[in-house]
Amino acid sequence: MEVKTNKRRGDPGKPPGLHRTAGCTVELISSHNRVFDYLRDIQNRPQWERMSSGSLVQELANITMGLDPRNCISVLAMSNHKEILILQECCTDATGSYMIFAPITPNDFQSMLYGVDQDLPLMPFGFSILPNVSGSILDGTLLTMVFQITVKNVSSKQAVEVVTQIVKKRFRRSLKQ
């Protein structure tokens, strides 16, 4: 687990203030395609994402990129957070997959759609999902997670604990099913 702290002062596309980035990599026994499909399925999202917990997640828009319909940009809404949308990009092929998402307000999303504001401050989160291969044997998946938060009185230890809890409680239990 690694935690990094940055103080931003008007970097384009980044909100100003103190930011903590926490990331870690775990080994899973599932295939990278299974992990990718699990993470991108909106029905599973409340199981691993705290913000959508206890909420119905709905896909408002989906723009497919290429031949695989899993390679797409989506806009998600949550029934218990009407003031926030999730802008999400998913991409996969035989070499690996990624999923990147960021909360965005409906007003900022409209501005982005109409080209009004090109430098919206986004705090992306994401996953890199790679096949774990030793020699010629596929051993499962290496899942790297990175989360960013704007901090106000949050210690490095608390940021690490949040990511560790997600890994231990959510992913390992859910992917064994």
Band of pLDDT at residue 130, cut at 50, 70 and 90 = very high
Average pLDDT of the residues in 105-114: 83
Residue 83 has pLDDT above 80, yes or no: yes
Nearest to 177 by CA among 32, 53, 38: 38
Mean pLDDT across the chain: 80
CATH number at residue 91: 3.30.530.20
Average pLDDT of the residues in 34-50: 90
Q: How many domains does the chain have?
A: 1
Domain that holds residue 87: 2-175
Q: Is the dihedral of CA 150, 156, 162, 166 positive or negative?
A: positive
Those residues with Cβ within 8 angstroms of residue 10's Cβ, 6 or more apart along the chain or in another chain: 16
pLDDT: which is higher, 68 or 116: 68
DSSP single-letter state for residue 169: I
Cβ atoms of 167 and 48 closer than 8 Å: no
CA pair distance 156, 64, nearest whole angstrom: 38
